[in-house]
Amino acid sequence: MKRSTLILLKTLTWVACLGPLGLLIYGAVTNTLGPDPTANIELTTGYNTLLLLILSLAVTPLRKLVPRLSWLIKFRRLLGLFAFFYGTLHMLTYVALYAGFDVHAMLADIEKRRFITMGVAGWLLLLPLAATSTTWAIRKLGGKNWNRLHRMVYVAAVCGVIHYWWQVKPGVLSPLRLTLVLGVLLLSRPVLAWYERRRVGVVKG
Residues that bind ligand HEM (CB under 6 A): 39, 42-43, 46-47, 49-50, 53, 87, 90-91, 94, 98, 116, 119-120, 122-123, 156, 160, 163-164, 167, 174
For residues 9 and 88, which CB has a smaller minimum distance to ligand HEM in the complex?
88
**Shortest approach of ligand HEM to residue 96 CB, angstroms?**
11
Q: Can you tell me the distance from the alpha carbon of 205 to that of 199, in angstroms, rounded to the nearest whole number?
A: 10
Closest CB to ligand HEM among 129 and 188?
Answer: 129
Q: How many other C-beta atoms can be found within 10 angstroms of the C-beta atom of residue 184?
A: 13
Closer residue to ligand HEM, CB minimum distance, 85 or 188 = 85
Q: Give whichever of 91 and 185 is closer to ligand HEM, judged by the CB atom.
A: 91
> What minimum distance in Å lies between the beta carbon of 199 and ligand HEM?
33
The span from the CA of 158 to the CA of 162, in Å, is 6
CB-based contact 76:8 (threshold 8 Å): no
**Closest separation between CB of residue 122 and ligand HEM, Å?**
3
- Nearer of residues 80 and 122 to ligand HEM, judged by Cβ: 122
Distance of CA 122 to the CA centre of its chain: 10
Listed as own residue / partner, the contacts of 18-22 with beta carbons closer than 8 Å and 24 or more positions apart are: 20/44, 20/45, 20/48, 20/86, 21/86, 21/89
CB of 155 to ligand HEM, least distance (A): 10
Q: What does the alpha-carbon distance between residue 79 and residue 163 come to, in Å, rounded to a whole number?
A: 21
